[in-house]
Structure formats: C-alpha cells, structure tokens
Structure 1
C-alpha cells in the first residue's frame, strides 16, 4: 500500500494522526502553502483538498481545525489560527469576558480526494467543552484553553486524548469510509 499524502506542515499533527490511525493507513506528510478561502469549515477543507490534489497529482488528505464559541455564534470557527496568532490564548479568553456562556466546540475537518478533478469527501469530528484560562503545554495552539470533562486537551495524557478528540472522531469516520468502500490507497 502506497502512503497517502497528508498535507500539513505541523509535525505534531503528523505524530497525533499516526498515533490515532496506527498501521491502518500509511501517511506521508507534505508541507504545502495553500491559500485558504473564506467560508464554512467544509468549503475551506474541500477547496484546500482540491488544490492539493492538483499539486501532487494524486490522492491527498488535508485537515482543518476550528474552535467555535457558542456565545459568539460559532466564531472564531475556521479562523481560529488567525485569532490565536493575533490574540494568543489569553486574548481568546478575553473575547468571552462579556459572556456568561463559555461553551465551545473543537472541530476537526478532514477532506480526502482520490486525485485531481475528483470531488473531496469530508469527514468531521466535534468535541464539546468550554473555554478556561490556559493550562498545560501549548503544543497545539488553543488546546490549553479548551477543557473537556475537567481537563484541557493540553493536559490530557496523549492516549486518552487520541481516543476522544475532535481529530480522533474525524479520523474514525475516514477510516470507516475506507473500510466500507474498500478504497485502495
């Protein structure tokens, strides 16, 4: 089985994806600078996937993460990367200061295309939690402020996180699709 190209420049994401999927799928990371459109999570991931499939001329998997604050009707959503770069975790917390509702959803969207000119398939996972002051190492940007069942994602032991996270839930859906369709990579 040839490795599936996983478009990411984040080595920690590669480690986590490999930990979740184990030997089920062999991935080959590739950092590509693909501009992101503005839109919904599905539109952004699908567009990035289409562009990547054209660049590599073959099957590709892309991932996009989001953080949705219920009090802000889903913002920052897919733009969390830019909010985090500008405000940091403390600034993200301050965005919610005027609101009593601190609930949030971590969202992971994977898009897969079997090659150029093939419509991407989207697999999404969600994890409910709340926004809290930062705790734990900042390996994955906003994970120190996202708490699920009393622990931030940054505080969680890796094996525990990799069995319940938004990324895990999206990858399970992708793996189920692969096994049901018998798609050969």
Structure 2
C-alpha cells in the first residue's frame, strides 16, 4: 500500500483519481525544512516519513510562483498565506506589478527504501539537509541515504481578483484558461492542476514499479 503523507483529505481524493485504491492517507507531521526550492523539502519529508512508516510513501510540496517577484512566495507560500493572507498577496501583486503572470508548481517525492533505475525524472540520493534540519541530537550522517524519486507538475496562469467558492489556499486568485481554480469543480481542477500533472507522471511510472 502506498501512503500519501498529508493532513489534507482533499489531496488524497485527488491522488485516488490517478492511483485508485492503491493509495491511503498517512497523517504524519514530518519536518518541513527551509529551502529555496520545492524538491529538497519534499525529498526530506519523504525520507523522514518512510523511516517512520516503513512503507512506500508519497510526499508533496507545492507553491505559487509569481513571475514578477522572481518566484516569490514559492516554497514559502503556506507561511505567507498564514501570515499575510491570500488577499494581501493579490493586492501586492496587482499594485506592484504590470505582469501578473504566475504558476503553481508541485513536486511529488516517492520513497520506498529501494534504489531507482535511471530515467528522465530526477532522483535525489543525498540526505544533505538531514543533519541540519534534525538538529544535533541525531547523527544522520551515519545512516545510509535513502534515494527519493521526484515528479514535478506545473500550470501557468495569472493572478486576478478572487472568484469562486471551491478549492483552498490561493485557488480563488489563480486564473487558468479563463476560470480560477476556485470556480472549477474537483474533476476540472484535477485535470489541469499542478498536483494532477505531477500525479499523472507518477502514476504512469508507479504502475511499472
């Protein structure tokens, strides 16, 4: 059984669209390390979750990347949402920028404790952030690094005034092809979302794993 590590049941339902009943939720509070990129954050979480569960795990990290702000808030999207709020981000973008283009990115990290064959999708083989993130009480350098397979999904759009009652997070202010993510039903959003695109890549690979 593949365990999707999240407290958000909506993410699990989205994963089920691509993985069927092979996936179930694992509510585990892994360490979210600080990094300027999504991949090492997701990779560290996958390693920690696999060591905790002893089962194949899937961890995702996602963010909103605004072109005119050099990708900010990016990996800090959840923190910015919690501290400033989504509407404050929209006001900042529309007040300060003429170019309101942005993209959602999602990185899925898979770990089952085994090695991976070479493929176009990247593999993170280094626990380089483990010791710093975990603190001095744990000697991660003595442990064998766990390889983690990474899958990325991206969807381009733009920041607009909030519309729609669905979704969560930045969905009401992110417009794709004329509709915000919050205006789409679950099936429509899953078909075009950054997470859905990453899950599609992962699902095709996982079927051969």
TM-score (norm 2): 0.80
Shift of 1:68: 0.1
Larger radius of gyration: 2
For 1:95 and 1:30, the matched residues in 2 are separated by 36
Secondary structure of the 2:85 match is helix
Paired with 1:157 and 1:10, the residues of 2 have a C-alpha distance of: 17
Instruction: Name which of 131, 136, 143 aligns with 2:159.
Output: 131
Q: Where in structure 1 are there 5+ consecutive unaligned residues? A: none
SS in structure 2 at match of 1:108? strand
1:36 matched to which residue of 2?
A: 32
- Residues of 1 paired with 2:84 and 2:91: CA distance? 9
| Alpha-carbon contact 2:19-2:203 (below 8 Å) kept | no
Is the deviation greater in 167-176 or in 136-145?
A: 136-145
Counterpart of 1:151?
A: 179
2:50 maps to which residue?
53
Which one has the bigger helix percentage?
2
Q: Is the 8 A contact 1:110 1:124 kept in 2?
A: yes
Superposed CA deviations along residues 108-160 of structure 1, whole A, max 9, x for unmatched, are 11100013853110001000000111111253211111100110011012222
Whether the aligned pair in 1 keeps the contact of 2:4 and 2:59 (CA below 8 Å) is yes
Runs of 4+ in 1 over 3 A off after TM superposition: none
CA deviations on 1:1-49 (whole Å, 9 max, x unpaired) are xx2111000112122222x3152x5111011111211111111111111
Seen in structure 2, the aligned counterparts of structure 1 residues 91 and 17 have a Cα distance that, compared at 3 Å, is same
Residue of structure 1 aligned with 2:67, choices 40, 65, 70: 70
